[in-house]
Amino acid sequence: MSAEAVSLETKDRQNQPSLEPILSLTAPSMEAVNSVILERMQSEIPLIPALAGHLISGGGKRMRPMLTLAGAELVGYKGDHHYKLAAAVEFLHTATLLHDDVVDGSETRRGKKAANIVYGNPATVLVGDFLFARAFELMVDADNLRALKVLSDASVVIAQGEVDQLTAQRKIETSQDHYLHIIGAKTAALFAAASRISAVIAERSAEEEKALDDYGRNLGIAFQLVDDAIDYDSERAEMGKDQGDDFREGKMTLPVILAYAKGSAEERKFWQEAIAGFRNEDEDLAYAIELIHQHDTVAATREKALEFAEKACDALSIFPDSEARAAMVEAAQFAVSRLY
């Protein structure tokens, strides 16, 4: 890590990092983005804004569009196309969440009933499709062909990542490299594109584009690693889904991959049965959490997340010191601090 990048390892744990700096930095721009989101989620079909609003207004942090706005501040962009692009990013993300909840059969999202539970699977899938379409409409309206290509390429990668995750589900042989490839596609690709498009529309250098892409990609991987670890950390089950969802869905996330690799023959037999779907009762989840803590794989996952978060911070070192850079660095610190 460069001397300019802030160390995540030595951050004072009594003074935990937060999203407040990036929230403050982007607050005025986010108001404009929220106006675009509200306008473009409307339809003459009442079910569409009702279902879309159920999730969009459900308390999400707007992390991905925030990266577009913060990146625009970082590179000194003076136009207004980033509002539509940030809204497009949020629509892409929301569409994937709606589709994911149908695929996974999720019952909650962001602390309340998932849209598929309230409105049914068919409506949820179709409104997800509507939001994808709206996202591409916004990309076209932003009138930047390269930004359109960055986001459309990311959309392809995300879809492939979701299919890759589906085909890896309930496969105990899933490797750490394969897992990282999956989350790099299904999660980090949108973080990377959301960050990069700021440099694209500001017509900055290829070096700055790559730096923002690297920042977003590494942040996205760190963010997903922490989310996957929290699913097995009973003290920090803070996400908008029930603890143990990944376990019951047979997902081979890093805490499980590491616990399986370290386990005894008896423990490995348990994991084989659990991931295959034969051990998914509450007591099985409790035993899984016990094994994960026994082998300290939540901590190991956090260390891996730390590596990626530091890479994200390091990527920003080519930019001059500024409020925007400091806020983006602290956002990366926050992503990992959720596991302290």
Q: How many of the other CB atoms lie within 10 Å of CB of 150? A: 23
pLDDT of residue 126: 98
- How far, in whole angstroms, is CA 21 from its chain's centroid? 19
Query: Is residue 213 over pLDDT 70?
Result: yes
How much is the average pLDDT of 107-129?
92
Indicate if the alpha-carbon torsion angle 254, 255, 258, 264 is positive or negative: negative
Q: Pick from 97, 98, 89: which is nearest to 30 by CA? A: 89
pLDDT of residue 260: 98
CB contact set of 162 (below 8 Å; sequence gap of 6+) = 96, 99, 100, 103, 186
The percentage of the chain sitting over the pLDDT mark of 70, rounded to a whole number, equals: 92
Q: Pick from 3, 8, 36: which is nearest to 332 by CA? A: 8
Domains of the chain: 20-337 (1.10.600.10)
pLDDT of residue 242: 63
Report pLDDT digits (tens) over 9-48.
444 445 788 899 999 999 999 999 999 999 999 999 999 9
pTM over 0.85: yes
Distance from C-alpha of 303 to C-alpha of 180, rounded to nearest angstrom: 14
> For residue 11, what are its two tokens?
């951050």
Report pLDDT digits (tens) over 158-169.
999 999 999 999
Higher pLDDT, 237 or 132: 132
> For residue 85, what are its two tokens?
């692009």
Distance from C-alpha of 177 to C-alpha of 128, rounded to nearest angstrom: 30
Contact 192, 216 (CB under 8 A): yes
Query: Is residue 3 over pLDDT 70?
Result: no
Query: Is residue 180 over pLDDT 70?
Result: yes
How much is the average pLDDT of 169-187?
97
How many residues are listed for the chain in this entry? Answer: 340
